[in-house]
């Protein structure tokens, strides 16, 4: 992929996202660093500069649908074209906390906000041709199931169940997007980055990781930049290779149901 392509990375102020932004900037991409606040974004821009790269920033809260809409509008104004969107931001919540929209935070930040952001950007700068969408899922999806009868887990919250459900939703969303979008215009793929000692892993899972941040960023960098995956869509990757997701990620009815519910809950349609 040629230098100068514009790549937006969400949650690029920390952990795997920050490393992904640093490494993408080193490839010559024009990186747009997204974070929750402008203070955190500015700090990340400093890290990227120190590493010899250059990037621009945008701040909005994925825990607010209004903020996501404002962010999408700002991005469309500032960037007539986005070549790659890396939906990387994510949280692990130990407790059930509702957002200002009255939705469970894990579901909103990890699934609904990227669903809304992606669809809004597809109406403008991300329309292609040859645009790429990457959704950072997790191996944790294999322990997840969609609680369609209670997506917000109001009847019994468990942080791991909420997280695993949201990471399964990332894959279902990717596969449905891939079916809806002509591959020569926009491709959509998802990935497990690896297991890294970030604040999400340490605070959420209470454990350390076995991979480095560089190793974890490598699959996103590969999918964002490699000519090998030009036109490849609707696949799940780990360690820069296509792998099979768990069977529940291949449930076509579930992915259609999730899309419809997400349209309603995000107010997209
Ligand atoms: N670490 C692992 O082992 C692992 C394994 C598999 C998959 N993943 C996935 O990898 C992705 C990155 O995770 P990580 O481990 O690098 O986590 P991290 O270090 O905690 O970074 C998460 C990023 O998302 C941002 N974010 C969280 N909530 C947000 C909100 N409401 N609005 C805007 N930004 C928000 C964070 O911003 P703040 O700094 O402001 O919080 C941060 O920049 C996630 O999707 C995660 O599910 C991680």
Q: What is the pLDDT of residues 6-22, one digit of tens each?
A: 999 999 999 999 999 99
Q: What Cα–Cα distance (Å) separates residue 146 from each residue in 22, 154, 237?
A: 34, 14, 21
| pLDDT tens-digit map of 181-234 | 999 999 999 999 999 999 898 888 888 899 999 999 999 999 999 999 999 999
- Is 71 close to ligand 1, i.e. is its CB under 6 Å away? no
Q: Ligand 1 within 6 A of 196 CB?
A: yes
Q: CA–CA separation, 145 vs 184, rounded Å?
A: 32
Task: Give pLDDT, residue 2.
Answer: 47
Under 8 Å CB-to-CB from 93, ≥6 apart: which residues? 104, 105, 106, 159, 162, 163, 204
104 backbone φψ class: left, alpha, beta (φ>0; ψ -120 to 50): beta
Pairing of strands 241-242, 236-238: antiparallel
Angle at 186 between CA 181 and CA 189, to 5 degrees: 90
SS3 content of the chain, % helix, strand, coil (to 5): 50, 15, 35
Taking alpha carbons only, the member of 73, 218, 69, 57 closest to residue 136 is 218
**Stronger pLDDT, 189 or 53, i.e. the higher one:** 189
- Could you tell me the distance, in angstroms and rounded to a whole number, from the CA of residue 205 to the centre of ligand 1? 13
Mean pLDDT in residue range 86-104: 98
pLDDT confidence of residue 54: 85
57 lines ligand 1 (CB under 6 A): no
CATH topology for 6-266 is Rossmann fold (3.40.50)
- Ligand 1 proximity of 11 Cβ (cutoff 6 Å): yes
Note the pLDDT of residue 218.
98
Task: Return the sign of the alpha-carbon dihedral for residues 202, 205, 207, 210.
Answer: negative
Residues assigned a catalytic role: 163
Ligand 1 centroid–CA 15 distance in Å is 7
Calpha distance 163→143 (Å, rounded): 10
Question: Ligand 1 mean position to 200 CA, how many Å?
Answer: 6
Q: What is the arithmetic mean of pLDDT over 99-110?
A: 98
- Bridge partners for 86 per DSSP: 9, 134
Q: Do 240 and 225 contact (CB within 8 A), yes or no? A: no
Distance CA 264, CA 269 (A): 7
- How does 62-86 read in b/e, with b if 16+ C-beta sit within 10 Å? bbbbebbbebbeebbeebeebbbbb
- pLDDT at residue 269 is higher than 80: no
Residue nearest atom 33 in ligand 1 by C-alpha distance: 36
Determine the pLDDT at residue 205.
87
Q: Which atom of ligand 1 is nearest the CA belonging to 44?
A: 43
- Interhelix angle 159-180/252-266, rounded to 10 degrees, is 100
């Amino acid at each position: 992929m040629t230098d100068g392509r514009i790549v937006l990375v969400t949650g690029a102020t920390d952990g795997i996202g920050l490393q992904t932004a640093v490494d993408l900037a080193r490839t010559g991409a024009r990186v747009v660093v997204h974070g929750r606040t402008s203070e955190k974004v500015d700090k990340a821009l400093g890290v990227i500069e120190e590493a010899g790269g250059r990037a621009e920033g945008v701040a909005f809260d994925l825990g607010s649908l209004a903020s996501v809409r404002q962010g999408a509008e700002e991005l469309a104004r500032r960037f007539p074209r986005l070549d790659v969107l890396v939906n990387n931001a994510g949280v692990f919540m130990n407790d059930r906390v509702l957002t200002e929209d009255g939705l469970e935070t894990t579901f909103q930040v990890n699934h609904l906000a990227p669903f809304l952001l992606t669809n809004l950007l597809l109406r403008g700068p991300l329309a292609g041709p040859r645009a790429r969408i990457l959704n950072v899922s997790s191996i944790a999806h294999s322990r997840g199931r969609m609680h369609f009868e209670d997506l917000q887990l109001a009847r019994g919250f468990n942080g791991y169940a909420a997280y695993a459900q949201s990471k399964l939703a990332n894959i279902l969303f990717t596969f449905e997007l891939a079916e809806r979008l002509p591959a020569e215009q926009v491709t959509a793929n998802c990935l497990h980055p690896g297991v890294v000692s970030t604040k999400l892993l340490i605070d959420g899972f209470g454990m350390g990781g076995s991979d480095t941040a560089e190793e974890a960023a490598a699959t996103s960098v590969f999918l964002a930049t490699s000519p090998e995956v030009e036109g490849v869509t609707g696949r799940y990757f780990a360690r820069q290779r296509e792998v099979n997701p768990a069977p529940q990620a291949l449930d076509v009815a579930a992915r259609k149901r999730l899309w419809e519910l997400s349209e309603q809950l995000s107010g997209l349609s």
